[in-house]
Structure 1
Amino acid sequence: LEDLQDAFDFAYKVHYLPGEDSTNDPHRAQQVQVLQGKLQMLDRQRREVLAQMQQLLGRSETLRDFLQQELEAWQERQRRSCMGAPADTRLRPLEAWFTELGQGLFQLLQLLQLLQDLRQKLTYERDPLKAETPLLERRLRELLSYLLKSAFVVEQQPCMPNASKRPLVLRTGTKFSARARLLVRLHDRSHRMEAKIHIDRLGTPSPFLPQNELAPLKGPLSWGIPAQPRWVSGRIGLAADALFHPAGTPPRSKAFSLLPSPSPLVPLLQKEQQFFSKPPPAPWPLLAEVLSWQFQSVAERGLDRDHLLMLGKKLFG
């Protein structure tokens, strides 16, 4: 495409010199016809390149939807793993797919920038680059932003230092750790990234506990119904502020801002307190499966059918 544009630009400047009167040139009609043919070929090539980009963006959106389904399946396996289930929670396969898609989208962004540069050098009436490149750029940036936000995950759920404690089983006044991960690995150093990850606490304190008692409160959280309820409500999340600078673009005007909704770590909301104080009855098959998971996570051996039958009789008669 660039070669075709250079050839047309050279021929146009040769045959249409400023201030030169070529009305009496017998070859003028032939030269105009040749230039018209070059322009038509250039226009056809531009439309073909734009059509290919449209097709690639469509495939990228299909792959993005597939990766979103795989990510949701991984999150479900992670939730089961937090309860002791033997689940595969590796992120390397997802990271490979997210990285390949992200790199491909960044390459498309660079190509789109080159097309915009070509349009600035040469444009004409009904130029497809003038009408379609802004729409393609907006669509591409939306796809990139969605991908980067989806790629920010909580790899390790909050866990206290005590190895015997499961993830998400936390005590107030006790330190815990969590690990976040961005599944898009930018190997190209020309793509600069500035990131800052912080813990954000959302929501308002529960009216059951005065504000001045929130900080010094210690001891395990209890979801029973004590004489004086001392529940702590809120929502703790990981948030990331990041700027992505694609190669060959100004650091400010083309930076991507990654501001995802904070991934929930410890959801203890006011509206959920009723659920914990009066939990709905769990069917025995589901409870038995969870008990087997927890035994297996501690003793490296699950409960067989006879064990579960004995527990069921002990618990429910």
Structure 2
Amino acid sequence: DMEHNMKMLENLQDDFDFNYKTLKSQGELSQDLNGNSQAAAARQKMAQLGQMLAALDQMRRRIVTEMGGLLMAMDYVQKNLTDEELADWKRRQQIACIGGPPNICLDRLETWITSLAESQLQIRQQIKKLEELQQKVSYKGDPIIQHRPALEEKIVDLFKNLMKSAFVVERQPCMPMHPDRPLVIKTGVQFTNKVRLLVKFPGLNYQLKIKVCIDKESRDVAAIRGSRKFNILDTNTKVMNMEESNNGSLH
């Protein structure tokens, strides 16, 4: 619906812009002519132009209002996914680490979060389109000038928070010989974990890198500082790769 409305807005603006420039050009060409018939025709065209501008303004106000409502709906859905669904999965993962039932897979959550991320990218492109339209045609009281910055700020904030929440530890640290005991880490033994981005971009044409770091100043171990030491094998910068066995998710 928003795509359709944006196309209608663009067509309205193109018609107004064409008629405005045409009338302006005709006025400049006939500025020395003072015939009554020409004056009457000019007034009629000006009235028509005013009606077109009113329709354009009404459509712009409708779209920015609908975009605001759409962002509110996205915010509601996002909070449900991150604060409830994803939080519930993390809780089940914790229980599985201490002997509870095996944790469920993340494919369904990935589908939901990916769909939301795609929608957010789409609405951001539409907000950028509003900026392009406003740069071509603007007027006093333009609703795009008034509301677009807030819409842009909101969608960027939503997308950043979604991407942060979508980066999860799918498999907690565990030893290769005891994959079913992720909480047991022996001294001098290598262990691995697995992270996953729950946003799947089919057209991803660049590498996503993560930087691995160890919080040596954790408050939880401040009283026993020096009692632990971890070494990161190879480099602390890792590239997330597509896993075809997992439908192309980034790990």
Which of the five TM-score ranges fits, normalised by the shorter chain? 0.7 to 0.9
Q: Say whether 1:19 aligns with 2:28.
A: yes
What is the TM-score of this pair, normalised by structure 1?
0.63
Question: CA distance change for structure 1 residues 208 and 114 in 2, over 3 Å: closer, same or farther?
Answer: closer
Per-residue CA deviations over 1:103-151 (Å, capped at 9, x if unaligned) read: 0000001111111111111111111111111110000000000000000
Shift of 1:74: 0.3
Whichever residue aligns with residue 49 of structure 1, its letter is I
Q: Any conservation in 2 of the 1:161–1:177 contact (CA below 8 Å)?
A: yes
Q: Any conservation in 2 of the 1:206–1:232 contact (CA below 8 Å)?
A: no
Shift of 1:87: 4.1
Question: CA distance change for structure 1 residues 241 and 134 in 2, over 3 Å: closer, same or farther?
Answer: farther
**Residue of structure 1 equivalent to 2:193:** 178
Q: Say whether 1:41 aligns with 2:55.
A: yes
Shift of 1:164: 6.0
Q: Where does structure 1 lack aligned partners over 5 or more consecutive residues?
A: 211-230, 243-317
Q: Any conservation in 1 of the 2:97–2:181 contact (CA below 8 Å)?
A: yes
CA distance in 1, matches of 2:122, 2:34: 47
Aligned structure 1 segments of 4 or more residues deviating by more than 4 angstroms: 205-210, 239-242
Q: Say whether 1:90 aligns with 2:90.
A: no
Q: Any conservation in 1 of the 2:171–2:194 contact (CA below 8 Å)?
A: yes
Q: Any conservation in 2 of the 1:170–1:176 contact (CA below 8 Å)?
A: yes
CA distance in 1, matches of 2:160, 2:212: 21
Q: Any conservation in 2 of the 1:157–1:167 contact (CA below 8 Å)?
A: yes
**Larger CA Rg, structure 1 vs 2:** 1
Per-residue CA deviations over 1:91-111 (Å, capped at 9, x if unaligned) read: 011001100000000000111
**Residue of structure 2 equivalent to 1:144:** 159
CA distance in 1, matches of 2:111, 2:175: 30
**Residue of structure 1 equivalent to 2:3:** none
Q: Say whether 1:203 aligns with 2:211.
A: no
Partner secondary structure for residue 228 of structure 2: coil
CA distance in 1, matches of 2:180, 2:103: 20
Which of 28, 41, 47 is the aligned partner of 2:42?
28
- Select between 150-159 and 122-131 the one with higher mean Cα deviation: 122-131
Question: CA distance change for structure 1 residues 165 and 9 in 2, over 3 Å: closer, same or farther?
Answer: closer
**Residue of structure 2 equivalent to 1:8:** 16
Q: Higher helix share goes to which structure?
A: 2
**Residue of structure 2 equivalent to 1:221:** none
Q: Any conservation in 2 of the 1:151–1:183 contact (CA below 8 Å)?
A: yes
CA distance in 1, matches of 2:117, 2:238: 18
Shift of 1:88: 3.7
Shift of 1:207: 6.6
CA distance in 1, matches of 2:192, 2:179: 14
Question: CA distance change for structure 1 residues 164 and 115 in 2, over 3 Å: closer, same or farther?
Answer: closer
Q: Any conservation in 1 of the 2:98–2:183 contact (CA below 8 Å)?
A: no
Which of 67, 70, 79 is the aligned partner of 1:53?
67
Whichever residue aligns with residue 119 of structure 1, its letter is Q
Q: Any conservation in 2 of the 1:98–1:151 contact (CA below 8 Å)?
A: yes
Q: Any conservation in 1 of the 2:110–2:199 contact (CA below 8 Å)?
A: yes
Question: CA distance change for structure 1 residues 149 and 208 in 2, over 3 Å: closer, same or farther?
Answer: closer
Question: CA distance change for structure 1 residues 3 and 79 in 2, over 3 Å: closer, same or farther?
Answer: same
CA distance in 1, matches of 2:67, 2:238: 30
CA distance in 1, matches of 2:131, 2:237: 31
Per-residue CA deviations over 1:179-200 (Å, capped at 9, x if unaligned) read: 000001112x2x6554212321
Partner secondary structure for residue 172 of structure 1: coil
Question: CA distance change for structure 1 residues 128 and 206 in 2, over 3 Å: closer, same or farther?
Answer: closer
Question: CA distance change for structure 1 residues 233 and 207 in 2, over 3 Å: closer, same or farther?
Answer: farther
Whichever residue aligns with residue 5 of structure 1, its letter is Q
Per-residue CA deviations over 1:150-195 (Å, capped at 9, x if unaligned) read: 00000000001113650121012211010000001112x2x65542
CA distance in 2, matches of 1:197, 1:118: 38
Percent identity among equivalent residues? Answer: 35
Which of 85, 89, 93 is the aligned partner of 1:78?
93
CA distance in 1, matches of 2:104, 2:89: 6
Question: CA distance change for structure 1 residues 23 and 102 in 2, over 3 Å: closer, same or farther?
Answer: farther
